[in-house]
Amino acid sequence: MYTINIDHVCGCVRRSDLEINSQVESKDEALLKAIKMKDLMNQEFCGKHMFDIEEKENNFHIAFAVSKPATSCCGGSAC
């Protein structure tokens, strides 16, 4: 059994029809379902956060994506 969890339940998640915790039989089915959920969340939610999937043992966690730090490089030779 594989579990798909939404780790950070923001207002958009609460207002959606998505299951916060769900279980499926196969790893492939769980991964495909998690990807579809993540894509829907990234495309249709408010855009304040982006979501990503992390796999831990038999669990797929959908959580806020870690953003890369902004660079302040000016593009010159000083960087």
Reading the chain (79 residues) residue by residue, the pLDDT tens digits are 999 999 989 999 999 999 999 999 999 999 999 999 999 999 999 988 899 999 999 999 999 987 655 555 555 555 4
| Per-residue model confidence (pLDDT) at position 79 | 45
Residue 73 lies in a domain: no
Decide: 63 and 8 in contact? Cβ < 8 Å.
yes
Residue 69 lies in a domain: no
| Per-residue model confidence (pLDDT) at position 29 | 97
Rg (CA), the chain: 16
| Per-residue model confidence (pLDDT) at position 8 | 87
Residue 48 lies in a domain: yes
**One-letter identity of residue 7:** D
| Per-residue model confidence (pLDDT) at position 67 | 65
- The parent domain of residue 42 ranges over 2-64
Q: How many domains does the chain divide into?
A: 1
Angstrom distance (rounded) from CA 68 to CA 79: 18
| Per-residue model confidence (pLDDT) at position 75 | 53
Decide: 79 and 73 in contact? Cβ < 8 Å.
yes
